[in-house]
Structure 1
Amino acid sequence: MSREFIAKQYPWFLNTWDKYKFPIERADAIRYFALAHFGGIYIDLDDGCRRRLDPLLTVPAFVRSTSPSGVSNDIMGSVPGHPFFIKVLNNLKRYNRNWLVPYITIMFSTGPLFLSVILEQYNRYGVPDTGKVRVLLPADYKGNDDSFLKIAPGSSWHTDDAKFIKTLGRHIPLAVFTGFMITGLVFLMEWYLYKWCVRLNFSRMKEKVRGWFNKGRMGRPRKDSNLPAQRPLVKIEVV
């Protein structure tokens, strides 16, 4: 159904849609298209409402902040044709790149990091009131009785690389120390390799110079002479 919607309403994007490597990228993209086209509120299945969302309907668009920075794409709202979400659609093709690591590829192509970058660009030069995007703070969506939403731990799409990156994030001092150790070992290996190459080249150069010197002692013919090169005299002792 999603592909048929894209093919009918946004055929210029169909090629990018089909080339997405991960299903979660299409799941991210279709929510942007639905909000830009129909408007409304999108909420992930692992999130829920604590109270009525009517106050959020008074703003033209909203997203929620996330930790440590930026915004998330699990809860969003918009009127149809909001300029921010139109900008999001227009940048999906440009940000569809393969960063080799699945987690980074997804986050930067369609995920929260992509949305955060586009929001930063959108707000850079100021927008009119009708085009503003409200960013919900933690107090708005979790943590107290007046919060609109209940945020559950998600990340069902995370693979092993994402788990590894998150583990590094929870052990930053150890990760930094390990990084410095690896960097130091690499530089040490490069230094020993450099010294070995210098010694090897020096030995070869010394042999070449010695060969040139010995060859020069054999004598060379003058440029204006057809005589062969003179050989050094050999001293013969008579007994």
Structure 2
Amino acid sequence: MGVISLPSRAYRTHPGLFASGFALVLIGLWCARHLLHDAWTLAALPLIWSHHADRFYISAEHDAFDVTFASYSINQTSAAPFPDRVPPVLHHISLGAGASTHSKWAEVRQSCLDMHPDWEAFLWTDETADALVAEHFPELHAMWTSYRYPIQKIDALRYMALYHYGGVILDMDLQCKRAFGPLRRFEFVAPAAHPTGFSIGFMMASQGNAYVRQLVDNLRRYNRHWLGLPYPTVMFSTGCHYASTIHTFQHNRTDLKILAGPKGNRRMHSLNGPVSTPIFNHLGSSSWHSYDAAMIVSLGKNHGWKLPLVGVAAVGLAFFVIRRAKRRAMLRV
């Protein structure tokens, strides 16, 4: 008796269903275009940060500047004979309870005030900071007051105070070893971070600086709960990675100076952890780090620049796997 063979079940997608699915994908991509673009800019930072670095890294060859500071007096508060582009203003931020009244941080801050006796000095507290944002950046006030993490308020305030007044902004744990005068000839200065970008714990800028304005204007755009974790959220929405990303995508970075050491000692001015640099003793409090920070930092000791790429790739892979699983389930019905 012959065996009757049954035709195999064919899994074919109706052309109309395929077209509808494709249209939904396009609509989804269009709706998520800003998120995808911003995620791409964050992920691209380590790949393009160093493009034309010789133009914005301070050096003896291009700027006739001694990055070791051995040629300058520790009390030099002016860039003379160069013009002073950064106004003589010091900013420290102490939001929340404790930092401004703690004797240790008060002494550390005083070391910077003593080095700049004739400079105007601001100590931004909850009350004065709120007044600054409400008066001069009212469009950002609601977002600023609703930030998920306190350090985001501090970071955002750095950019607003620096844009409005110009000057020098400093973390409370930076003990000054010399005056900032030699650096006042530049429109913007920040210390190089390792392995890429720069640190926002110390920044100098001219009043009304166009790049600092970009840092202020992009705060709303990057204000997302990145990867669902505190550390990436802070770094990508207001922190060093955010500021470095905006720096990277400026049309001309020549005047946006980054302070690093000479060849062979590029980390001379890095403020990673408790270190001593030609300008500072960095006491390295980093008290804002949350539970996920230690994990991310430990993973990134040798491959830290890859973390944003891994995060974005992980999100994309998860989306692909879920979408494929759903499609298979529909075919089995």
Bigger Rg over Cα: 1
User: What is the 5 A alignment of 1:10-159?
Assistant: 10-99=137-226, 100-122=228-250, 125-126=251-252, 132-138=255-261, 141=269, 147-159=278-290
Aligned with 1:141: secondary structure? coil
**Which structure is richer in relative contact order (CA contacts within 8 A, separation 6 or more)?**
2
Contact 1:65 1:135 in 2 (8 A): yes
Aligned with 1:73: secondary structure? coil
1:142 to partner: Cα distance? 6.3
| Cα shift readout 1:193-239 (whole Å, capped 9, x = no counterpart) | x9xx9xxx8xxxxxxxxxxxxxxxxxxxxxxxxxxxxxxxxxxxxxx
Letter in 2 for 1:121: F
Letter in 2 for 1:102: P
1:165 to partner: Cα distance? 1.1
Aligned to 1:211: none
Letter in 2 for 1:86: R
1:3 to partner: Cα distance? 1.3
Contact 1:141 1:150 in 2 (8 A): no
1:51 to partner: Cα distance? 1.6
Contact 1:62 1:133 in 2 (8 A): yes
| Cα shift readout 1:97-134 (whole Å, capped 9, x = no counterpart) | 01111000000000000001000011xx325x6xx111
Q: Structure 2, unaligned stretches of length 5 or more?
A: 1-127, 263-267, 304-309, 311-320
Q: Structure 1, unaligned stretches of length 5 or more?
A: 173-178, 180-189, 202-239
Q: Distance in 2 between matches of 1:35 and 1:2?
A: 12
CA RMSD of aligned residues (A): 3.0
Aligned to 2:294: 163
Contact 1:39 1:78 in 2 (8 A): yes
Q: 1:76 to 1:50 in 2, by over 3 A?
A: same
Aligned length: 175
Q: Distance in 2 between matches of 1:162 and 1:37?
A: 32
Q: 1:120 to 1:171 in 2, by over 3 A?
A: closer
Aligned with 1:92: secondary structure? coil
Q: Distance in 1 between matches of 2:276 and 2:290?
A: 34
**Structure 1 vs Structure 2: percent identity of aligned residues?**
31
| Cα shift readout 1:123-154 (whole Å, capped 9, x = no counterpart) | xx325x6xx11101046636999822233323
Q: Distance in 2 between matches of 1:57 and 1:10?
A: 26
Q: 1:58 to 1:165 in 2, by over 3 A?
A: same
1:171 to partner: Cα distance? 7.5
Q: Distance in 1 between matches of 2:138 and 2:202?
A: 26
Q: Distance in 1 between matches of 2:276 and 2:288?
A: 30
Aligned with 2:201: secondary structure? strand
| Cα shift readout 1:61-87 (whole Å, capped 9, x = no counterpart) | 111110111111001001110111011
Letter in 1 for 2:236: F
Q: 1:78 to 1:165 in 2, by over 3 A?
A: same
Q: Distance in 2 between matches of 1:168 and 1:146?
A: 26
Contact 2:187 2:256 in 1 (8 A): yes
Letter in 2 for 1:120: T
Q: Distance in 1 between matches of 2:199 and 2:174?
A: 13
Q: Distance in 2 between matches of 1:134 and 1:27?
A: 22
